[in-house]
Amino acid sequence: MSVKPAPASALFAGPFALATLSAPDGPVFPALVTSEALVVDLRIALDDDQLTVRGILDDWPTVQPRLRSLAGGGAVEREPLAEFRVHAPVEPRQVFQSGANYRQHVIDLHVAHRAPGDEQPEEERRAEAAEIMDRRAAEDLPYVFIGLPSAITGAFDDVVLPAWAEQPDWELELAAVIGRPAHGVSVEEALEYVAGYTIANDLTDRATVFRRDMPQIGTDWLRSKNAPGFTPLGPWIVPAESIADPDDLHLLLKLNGETMQDESTKDMIFDVARMVSYASQSAQLLPGDLVLTGSPAGNGLHWGRLLRDGDVMEGSITGLGTQRTRCVAEDAS
């Protein structure tokens, strides 16, 4: 099941975006969605029955001008977006995820997780944490780990909460979508390898982040973050040329209509270019890959309110639209 997409007036910035859609009982197909909420089937427009959004990104520098032309007009059939189901916009080969990348979020964690017997006043702890964050931004490296493409689901699909997940939580994030193979790229050139941006909600079961049986080995991102559907993605990919500054976007997540996360990407410790560059130093980034840039303050653990059956999350980022997902408890039997 799925909930309804956002109204046409709030779709995205710029003249067009990329999406993966399907008609009722029909196959998925790559689509150009216009700002007027009209759909062009790119299999037909680009004369390729096997085309996917990832295939488009594989040839992004060549295809992008043709997409601009299609968005501007021409004799191509256009159908209302409301007639189609919206899927995750791309099937990436690789997902790079970031942790501890929002200044205020990390400061809050520093204050909350004090050692037993630490009587330092909160104001002093915040000042101490702020100094650490400034030093980290200047001297340290981003914290990046690997996610699974199988965790991705559509921006309006239900999210199944596994029966074993004791503390499922939300994490709204800006995701950069790679448009050219990137390996060892500099910070200065990193954004040239970004085709566009989309929204990700990087769900986490807080209870399984750390291994209880072997605490010395640290975090367990496989268990805590990669259940099927734990990464709602989309609804679309907005080309980078339509986003003036990815480091100045507003993120807003509401749970059942109540604001939980409300922050700007200005608060990121490492900006998008540094994240992409850093990931490319170790791995080769491929077209369609995702670089998730971390989540701001306001997670469920902060509020003392984790996800449960029937909750509806609504996440939006400036210029990228809105995703709405309903939580459904897995049948424990």
- Give strand pairing partners of 144: 98
Residue-level pLDDT, tens digit, the chain, 333 residues:
555 554 444 689 999 999 999 999 899 999 999 999 999 999 999 999 999 999 999 999 999 999 999 998 877 899 999 999 999 999 999 999 998 899 887 777 666 656 666 777 878 777 877 777 788 777 789 999 999 999 999 999 999 999 999 999 999 999 999 999 999 999 999 999 999 999 999 999 999 998 888 878 888 999 999 999 999 999 999 999 999 999 999 999 999 999 999 999 999 999 999 999 999 999 999 999 999 999 999 999 889 999 999 999 999 999 999 999 999 999 855
If we measure between CA atoms, which residue out of 142, 146, 85, 172 comes closest to residue 289? 146
Query: pLDDT at position 74, please?
Result: 72
DSSP strand pairing (85-87 vs 16-22): antiparallel
Query: pLDDT at position 116, please?
Result: 63
Query: pLDDT at position 61, please?
Result: 95
The span from the CA of 114 to the CA of 184, in Å, is 38
| pTM of the predicted protein model | 0.92
Element (H, E) at 187: helix 187-190
Beta-strand runs (E) in the chain: 16-22, 28-34, 38-41, 79-80, 85-87, 95-99, 143-147, 152-154, 159-161, 168-169, 172-178, 194-201, 204-205, 231-233, 238-239, 250-255, 258-264, 290-292, 312-317, 321-329
Residue type, 203: L
The span from the CA of 85 to the CA of 140, in Å, is 43
**Per-residue CA distances from 122 to 110, 113, 134, 160 (Å):** 10, 11, 18, 38
Question: φ and ψ at 36, to 5 degrees?
Answer: -90, 10
- Looking at the structure, give the CATH architecture of the domain made up of residues 95-329: Alpha-Beta Complex (3.90)
In degrees, rounded to 5, the angle at the alpha carbon of residue 298 between the alpha carbons of residues 276 and 170 is 70
What stretch(es) of the chain map to CATH 3.90.850.10? 95-329
- Lookup: tokens for 157: 């699909």
